[in-house]
Amino acid sequence: MVFHHQSIDKRRKKNNKYMDLEFKLPNISDFKGQFKRVRRASKRRSIQLIISLSFTIVSILSMTFMTLAIYTNYINTARQSAIDNNDQIIDQISWNLNTYLRNMMGVSDSMYYNVIKNLDLTSDTMTKEMDLLYAANKDNMISIALISQDGALISAAPIATRKSGVDFTEQIWFTNTEENIENFHFSTPHVQNMFESSNYRYYWVISLSRSVDLNYMGHQRRGILLVDMNYSAIQQMFSRLNERGVGYVYLIDGDGEIIYHPRQKAIYSGLAAENNLKAAEYSDGNYTEIFNGSSRSVTVKTVGYTGWKIVSVIPTSELAANYNQVRLFMLIIITVTVFLILFGNIVISKIVTEPIRRLENSLEDIEDGHFDADKIYIGGSHEIRHLGRTIKSLVVQMRKMMDERVAEQREKRKSELNALQAQINPHFLYNTLDSVVWMIETEKYPEAISMITSLATLFRISLSKGNNIITIKDEITHAENYLAIQKVRYKNKFEANINIDPAIEDCITIKLIIQPLIENAIYHAVGDLDDEGIIDIEGYERDGDIFIEVRDNGMGIPEDVIENLLKEKTKTKGKGSGIGLWNINQRINLYFKEDYGLTIQSELDEGTTAIIHLPKITYEEYIKGNENEKK
């Protein structure tokens, strides 16, 4: 603002005609300054705004999802609870109905086995027993009667007089029993008017009939025992159940004929309809169906012995009667929760923002590559302080890891160089070349050519293009060339036998682990023997692993020496490749874990056996494994 006023004063001195413009310029500059301040303030609060908006959006979405999940779960739980409660009610009515039917079947059994079977109907009567049995069960039954196979009434209670014109053989219960004499038979509800009644009152009954054997002076005839159950007893069971106000329950037989229905009269008169024929096809369980355009839940349970089915129907609209109140309650909870979330997020984001901004400013030097942990800001809430300490610790660890990584790479390169240098023994090379020179001077050209060829192959496999893993076949080729050279140098003082199972030749091994064992066998065992020395090399598979043995018939090694050969790194003195047994064992351990390695077995004056234990991995599997790791 000072700069603008000074420039205006200068222009005022130069030209008075710009006076009006000079009064307007301060207002424009004030507007620009205010705009810049607003922008800076907006940037300063950007973290707070982002945190507040993010938390609010996430919270609202989470609350909405949670509310919907709770609401859905509530509806499903309420529906399932209603269904489960309905199942319990059906189980109870099924138990009651089964109990009632069993009692009636018990009455029939008692009459048959305790009375009829013990009487000779040519001379005995059963009126007294039948009257007593009826009197004991008259609340649940209307009548009991015994009819002969030809339709004659033998006995009945409480009325023993058949109405004129009634033919028992034409009754449905009679024909059903005659067709299947082994079982009980239950009829559909009907009015029983076969017997005379003094008050001309006839009742709705369900007839329970069965075939019985009648004794006439030792001769068996077939008859039918009829028990008319009081239909009102079943009607009362279901009427009390349907008074609960949620859905309704009805009873049908196996063919779908209605035995009881709360709207039975309306159905018979065509004023109402029921899906009873479809319900007869259902097995026991819960179903959802659409009937007359309305969705409803149906539960079916079969009554034992009868084939009847209890069917419970609950319209879906009744299950969801209270859902509107739940929706309103959920909406109120969501609204209140959203306001609380907005207010809480604004306050929390304001508290969190300032320490985060200060921590961000302290990280600018790290962005420039200056790993100075002392400049990291640590303050604010517990979480921000923990974040600051974590970043500070991370910076320290990063510097430490970078230093260790540099040192590790340096040591690794040094170790690799030492390993490569240890693979070639200068003494062996010098002695071999001296032998070649001697052969040439004595004009033994074929032998010289063979020795140089073996030496070239030996070094080619030793280098292996820098690969440390080769096939067993290449490792054996290396050993064969080495033996060919040594046989010339030692003038065939020893014999070497190689027996490798062809099935393992394509499997992998670490290079230069067999040749050092042969070298040790030559220098320390068979090379100085007066008699002919023998070196046996054998490779085979056992228990899914590979074993390679190098045996000699030398003097053997004492036990105390064997124990130290693989426990510590020993330096070879004089003869040898410089690759000790410990080195071979360690290399195998590093590549294939400690389950594999080298073992030494020896007996004094008998010889020594070195056993290499390797996993069975083909070279193709090894290459594929490396390619997968690179991906």
In angstroms, the CA 278 to CA 420 distance is 88
CATH number of 115-234: 3.30.450.20
The amino acid present at 179, given as its one-letter code, is E
Reported as half-sphere exposure (CB side, CA atoms, 13 A), residue 419 has a value of: 19
Beta carbons of 496 and 515 less than 8 angstroms apart: no
**% of the chain beyond a pLDDT of 70:** 80
Q: List pLDDT tens digits, range 68-119.
A: 787 777 777 777 777 777 788 888 888 888 888 888 899 999 999 999 888 8
The secondary structure of 434-476 as a DSSP string is HHHHHHHHTT-HHHHHHHHHHHHHHHHHHHGGG-SEEEHHHHH
549-570 average pLDDT score: 81
SS3 content of the chain, % helix, strand, coil (to 5): 55, 20, 25
In angstroms, the CA 248 to CA 487 distance is 105
Under CATH, which architecture does the 423-630 domain have? Answer: 2-Layer Sandwich (3.30)
In angstroms, the CA 260 to CA 249 distance is 9
pLDDT at 574: 43
User: Does pTM top 0.85 for this prediction?
Assistant: no
In angstroms, the CA 218 to CA 225 distance is 20
Average pLDDT of the chain to the nearest whole number:
78
279 closest CA partner among 298, 261, 293, 294: 298
Question: Which residues have CB under 8 Å from 67's CB, separation 6+?
Answer: 330, 333, 334
Could you state, in order of their start, the residue ranges of all structural domains in the chain? 2-44, 115-234, 423-630
Q: How far is CA 53 from CA 58, 67, 245, 331, in A?
A: 8, 20, 50, 22
Q: List pLDDT tens digits, range 452-485.
A: 887 777 777 666 655 778 899 988 988 888 888 8
303-324 average pLDDT score: 78
- List the alpha helices (DSSP H) in 180-254: 231-242
Interior angle at CA 398, CA 397 and CA 401, nearest 5:
80
DSSP 379: -
The amino acid present at 534, given as its one-letter code, is I
Q: How far is CA 17 from CA 11, 12, 14, 26, in A?
A: 10, 8, 9, 17
Q: List pLDDT tens digits, range 164-210.
A: 888 888 888 888 888 888 788 888 888 888 887 766 677 888 889 99
Put residue 502 in one of left, alpha, beta given phi > 0 → left and psi -120 to 50 → alpha. Answer: alpha
Q: Which of 216-225, 236-245, 406-415, 583-592 has the highest average model confidence (pLDDT)?
A: 216-225
In angstroms, the CA 335 to CA 339 distance is 7
Phi then psi for residue 126, to 5 deg, are -125, 20
Dihedral (Cα; 115, 117, 123, 127), 10-degree rounding = 20
Number of other residues whose CB lies within 10 A of the CB of residue 169: 14
Q: List pLDDT tens digits, range 380-434.
A: 767 777 887 888 788 788 777 877 776 766 565 445 535 544 554 555 666 677 7
CATH topology match: 115-234 vs 423-630: no
Q: State the DSSP H helix or E strand holding residue 32, giving kind and residue range, or none if neither.
A: helix 19-44
